[in-house]
Structure 1
Amino acid sequence: MSQVPAATKAMRVLKFLASQPDPVPLERVMRACELPRSTAYHLMTAMAEEGFVTHLADERRYGLGVAAFEVGSGYARQAPLQRLARRPLATLADRVGESAHLAVPHGRDVLYVIEERAPGRPPLITDVGVRLPAHLTASGRAILAELPAAQVRALYPGKDAFVARTGVGPTTPAALRTILVETRQRGYAVEDGEVSPGLASIAVPVLDHNGLPLAGLAVTYPVDGSADVAAIAAAVRATAQTLSRRVSGH
């Protein structure tokens, strides 16, 4: 028997919520985790205060919070993903002649963990270790488009969650939802001048064995008309699919 029963119960709740496609009522949590109502209520309240659980009061349901998302994405920030991605990313940069990078989710930001700069291309803002708002970057949008809608609502509950860099980009949850719908329909994410004027990016998510996004793989190119956008999109998609297969074991 566990010597830390409260921790065991909290981990059971997190594992259960992570297995659900949408937020669930408290009664579902109670039954699945075999918790009395009072225990479940106090546990969910404490976990919500720490950011591991989100309480959707209007729906009377509970889902994973931002802290759980950050813990879950921690694996992607460690060496296994970076080791697997470095060679495909270098090959991608050589193939398209533009700089490529890999970013992992970090709350409302993305954290850049690999950059492969193409010869003759200028340095980008996306150096390793840089964090940028996910809703403005192609990598972030590729990741957000693969998250459950409830998770995106938890990350961006209102206008205060949005920041701007160049004066363009979504500033409301509705505007972000429109971009994510377009991203899913298109099959890849884009941004044009929302991070750096004169530069655009195309990104595709890297997915784990559950089909959830671990990272965004992107190529950045100048918007002067010299880039073959269709070829870049195809190459990014192919590389991301290859990396997803390697990461997931599929």
Structure 2
Amino acid sequence: MSQVPAAARALRVLRFLASQPDPVALDRIARTCELPRSTAYHLVNTMIDEGFVVHLEDERRYGLGVAAFEVGSGFARQEPLQRIARRPLAALVDETGYGGHLAVLHGRDVLYVLEERAPGRPPLVTDVGVRLPSHLTASGRAILMALPASQVRALYPDRSAFADRRGTGPTSLSALRTLLSEARQRGYAVEDGDVSEGLASVAAPVLDHNGHPVAAVAVTFPTGEAPDAAAVAVRTTAGSLSRRLGG
């Protein structure tokens, strides 16, 4: 038995919420996690205060908050994921001839944690340690398209959440949802000129054992070059990494 019952209960709730495709009602949290309803209520409200849970009042449901994704991104930024991805990313760059990178979600930004430059290609802005707005990048859109709609809404509650870089890209939740819906239908996300003029990218999500996106794999190429072959290679690489993570 845990010597810190409250911590064990909180982690049990987090693990349960992370396994669900959509936010859930309090009664279901209490029942599944074997908690008294009053205990579950106070527990999730404390977790809301800390940013690990969000309460969707209109639906009377609870889902993971931004802080939970930051913890997940923290794991993804550590060496295990980079070590797993290094060789597949290098192989992807060799296959496509384009620069490739691995990015993770950090709040509303993506953080680039691994980059592989293609010989003869100019350097990109997506160097290791660089952060860019998720909604403007292919990598960010690839991660967002794999998140539940409620989590995307929590990340982008109003227009002020949509940072601007070049005067392009979505500026509202409805516009972002349209982009993400198109990306899901294709199976990969795209970006053309929203980050750097004359450059486009394609990206696909890397999923963990719960089906949640922990990272995205992408390649960047000059605007106008056909992305189809690159998209197939990116999806194959992301799928391989997902399987390594149990996804």
TM-score class normalised by the smaller sequence: over 0.9
Q: Deviation digits for residues 181-212 of structure 1, max 9, x if unmatched?
A: 00011111000111111111011111222322
Q: What is residue 241 of structure 2 aligned with on the other side? A: 243
- Find out whether 1:109 has 2:106 as its counterpart: no
The CA distance in 2 between the partners of 1:177 and 1:199, in whole Å, is 23
Where in structure 1 do 4 or more consecutive aligned residues deviate above 4 Å?
none
- Find out whether 1:168 has 2:168 as its counterpart: yes
Inter-CA distance 166–15: structure 2 relative to 1 (3 Å threshold): same
Secondary structure, aligned partner of 1:126: coil
Q: What is residue 89 of structure 1 aligned with on the other side? A: 89
Instruction: Decide which moves more: 73-82 or 113-122.
Output: 73-82
The CA distance in 2 between the partners of 1:16 and 1:243, in whole Å, is 24
How far does residue 2 in structure 1 lie from its aligned partner after superposition? Answer: 2.5
- Find out whether 1:228 has 2:226 as its counterpart: yes
Secondary structure, aligned partner of 1:202: strand
Q: Which residues of structure 2 form unaligned runs of 5+?
A: none
The CA distance in 2 between the partners of 1:245 and 1:111, in whole Å, is 22
Alignment of 1:38-77 (within 5 A): 38-77=38-77
How far does residue 83 in structure 1 lie from its aligned partner after superposition? Answer: 0.9
The CA distance in 1 between the partners of 2:79 and 2:199, in whole Å, is 29
Q: Which residues of structure 1 form unaligned runs of 5+?
A: none
Write the letter of the residue equivalent to 1:195.
V
Q: What is residue 210 of structure 2 aligned with on the other side? A: 210
How far does residue 180 in structure 1 lie from its aligned partner after superposition? Answer: 0.4
Q: How many residues align?
A: 247
Q: What is residue 127 of structure 2 aligned with on the other side? A: 127
The CA distance in 1 between the partners of 2:37 and 2:89, in whole Å, is 50
Contact 1:84 1:247 in 2 (8 A): no
The CA distance in 2 between the partners of 1:234 and 1:83, in whole Å, is 23
Write the letter of the residue equivalent to 1:176.
L
Write the letter of the residue equivalent to 2:228.
A
The CA distance in 1 between the partners of 2:110 and 2:191, in whole Å, is 14
Write the letter of the residue equivalent to 2:230.
I
Please, what is the CA RMSD of the aligned residues?
Answer: 1.5
Q: Deviation digits for residues 138-162 of structure 1, max 9, x if unmatched?
A: 0110111111111111111221211
Contact 2:18 2:210 in 1 (8 A): no
The CA distance in 1 between the partners of 2:229 and 2:16, in whole Å, is 41
Contact 2:110 2:132 in 1 (8 A): yes
Secondary structure, aligned partner of 1:135: helix
The CA distance in 1 between the partners of 2:75 and 2:186, in whole Å, is 28
- Find out whether 1:25 has 2:29 as its counterpart: no
How far does residue 37 in structure 1 lie from its aligned partner after superposition? Answer: 3.2
Secondary structure, aligned partner of 1:139: helix
